[in-house]
Amino acid sequence: MQIKNQDKKIGLIEVIPETIDDLWHLSHIVEEGDYVSTLTTRRIQDKTSGKTRADRGVKKTFFLGIRVEKINFHKYTGMLRFTGIIESGPEDLVPLGSHHTINVQINNSIKIQKTWNKWSLERLNTAVKASKRPTEIIVAMEDNTTDLGIIKQYGIEYIGHIMGDISGKRQIQKNRKEKINQYYEEVTKTVQQHENINKLIIIGPGFTKNDYYNFLEDKYPNLAKKSILENTGSGGHAGIQEVLKNGLIESLSKDAKVATETASVNKLLEQIGKSSNTVIYGPKQVADAANMGAIEKLLVLDELVRNKNTQKTMNTVEYMGGKVEIISSEHDAGKQLQALGSIAAFLRFPI
């Protein structure tokens, strides 16, 4: 994310989203009632000509601003949409007061005017810092299948399920070796589609990951130097979730948001499993604990941050010297927190 311009007096900040992560951040920064404007395209009917069924008008591009009523983000398509009432734009082309949907595009600037609270500004700064973060890919390998996932701010972006055409061990050895190399080449080709790779974390339950690493050492030594091997009980998506939970990603990447969030939720669940009196969850219980100054660390699901009562609790916790961690709703740990009421806390003392 880039901050292009800002006017603090009127609460206007112009940003340029550069990745899907940035679009995800914006989907939580912008709230209902905020004003956003950008260069947009709309199909315009020619009012001077006779309209026919086949006449769909012409597409025209212009600056337009709306008062946001609805926000939709789809991480799998990379689509962020703001829908609301048009408040500014060329009046000869668009009727003010009508509805319009802005499709936010990567590398296109968008202006946001709102009452910026501390959490919105912190999230914006997080997005700016994260834009400089190199790519880290998890390669979850089994004998004949591989799943790959990029570590994103919001969670894991799965970029491929690859199957190798490898028969049993009784197959002619030469032919089997060729099939294995083809399988490894396909995995490597998928990895190389992504730039600025910092780490390749190769995981799996058997020896396939070791064989693949040996392949990289022989054919792609630069990738091998960036590779780390880790044993897991399973491959695929389950293996990837396993390394998120076991703390490996957190130890390798201190700025990997999904890893630190997963570690926090896992610690919470562990304490709940022990029936510990040092954790608490649920909106009312957490709010009461915050007012008593009992919260050492607060976990809040990102979808709850827009709530005014939640913001009040967050501010109270920080005023009392506690820490606040916002958890993404897009990964498994976030869904586990959601099941607990979307908010929980570690306590300084039992209550």
Work out the mean pLDDT of the chain and round it to a whole number.
88
Instruction: Kindly state whether residues 229 and 331 are assigned to the same domain.
Output: no
Q: What is the pTM of this model?
A: 0.72
Instruction: Kindly state whether residues 286 and 220 are assigned to the same domain.
Output: no
The residue-averaged pLDDT of 53-71 equals 81
What DSSP line would sit under 306-327, residue for residue? TSHHHHHHHHHHHHTT-EEEEE
Edge to edge, what strands does the sheet with 156-163 contain?
156-163, 145-151, 135-141, 197-204, 227-231
Give a yes or no: residue 258 inside a domain. Answer: no
Please give the tally of structural domains in the chain: 3
Instruction: Kindly state whether residues 145 and 241 are assigned to the same domain.
Output: yes
CA atoms of 290 and 298, how far apart (whole Å):
9
Give per-residue pLDDT as tens, 200-259.
999 999 899 999 999 999 999 999 999 999 999 988 999 998 888 887 776 666 557 788
Assess contact for 44 and 60: CB atoms under 8 A: yes
Give a yes or no: residue 11 inside a domain. Answer: yes
Q: Measuring CA to CA, how many Å separate 256 from each of 2, 199, 343?
A: 19, 12, 21
pLDDT reading at 344 higher than 80: yes
Of 98, 130, 162, the residue at which a domain comes to its end is 130
Of 72, 104, 130, the residue at which a domain comes to its end is 130
Instruction: Kindly state whether residues 298 and 247 are assigned to the same domain.
Output: no
Instruction: Kindly state whether residues 231 and 316 are assigned to the same domain.
Output: no
CATH of residue 48's domain is 2.30.30.870
Give a yes or no: residue 311 inside a domain. Answer: yes
pLDDT at position 153, please? Answer: 77
Assess contact for 293 and 347: CB atoms under 8 A: no
pLDDT reading at 168 higher than 80: no
CA atoms of 231 and 239, how far apart (whole Å):
9
Give a yes or no: residue 261 inside a domain. Answer: no
Give a yes or no: residue 200 inside a domain. Answer: yes
CATH of residue 343's domain is 3.30.1330.30
CATH of residue 157's domain is 3.30.420.60
Greater confidence (75 vs 2) lies with 2
The residue-averaged pLDDT of 136-149 equals 92
CA atoms of 110 and 35, how far apart (whole Å):
10
Give a yes or no: residue 185 inside a domain. Answer: yes
Instruction: Kindly state whether residues 69 and 105 are assigned to the same domain.
Output: yes
Instruction: Kindly state whether residues 334 and 274 are assigned to the same domain.
Output: yes
Give per-residue pLDDT as tens, 273-316.
998 899 999 999 999 999 999 999 999 999 898 888 999 999 99
342: phi > 0 → left, psi -120 to 50 → alpha, else beta; which?
A: left
Please give the single-letter amino acid code of residue 179: K
Of 212, 230, 252, the residue at which a domain comes to its end is 252
Give per-residue pLDDT as tens, 295-307.
999 999 998 988 8
Instruction: Kindly state whether residues 218 and 102 are assigned to the same domain.
Output: no
Contacts (Cβ under 8 Å, ≥6 apart) of 99:
69, 83, 84, 85, 86
Helix (H) or strand (E) run with residue 22 in it: helix 20-29
Give a yes or no: residue 22 inside a domain. Answer: yes
Give a yes or no: residue 257 inside a domain. Answer: no
What DSSP line would sit under 147-171, residue for residue? EEEEE-SSSEEEEEEEE-----TTS
Give per-residue pLDDT as tens, 15-51.
999 888 899 899 999 999 999 999 887 777 665 555 5
pLDDT at position 55, please? Answer: 57
Instruction: Kindly state whether residues 150 and 222 are assigned to the same domain.
Output: yes
Greater confidence (335 vs 246) lies with 335
Greater confidence (71 vs 331) lies with 71
Instruction: Kindly state whether residues 123 and 173 are assigned to the same domain.
Output: no
Instruction: Kindly state whether residues 221 and 299 are assigned to the same domain.
Output: no
Q: Measuring CA to CA, how many Å separate 231 from each of 23, 105, 151, 210, 246?
A: 34, 39, 18, 10, 11
pLDDT at position 1, please? Answer: 92
Instruction: Kindly state whether residues 211 and 282 are assigned to the same domain.
Output: no
3-state SS string for 110-137: EEEECCCCHHHHHHHHHHHHHCCCCEEE
What DSSP line would sit under 249-262, residue for residue? HHHH-TT-HHHHHH
Residue 198, domain extent: 135-252
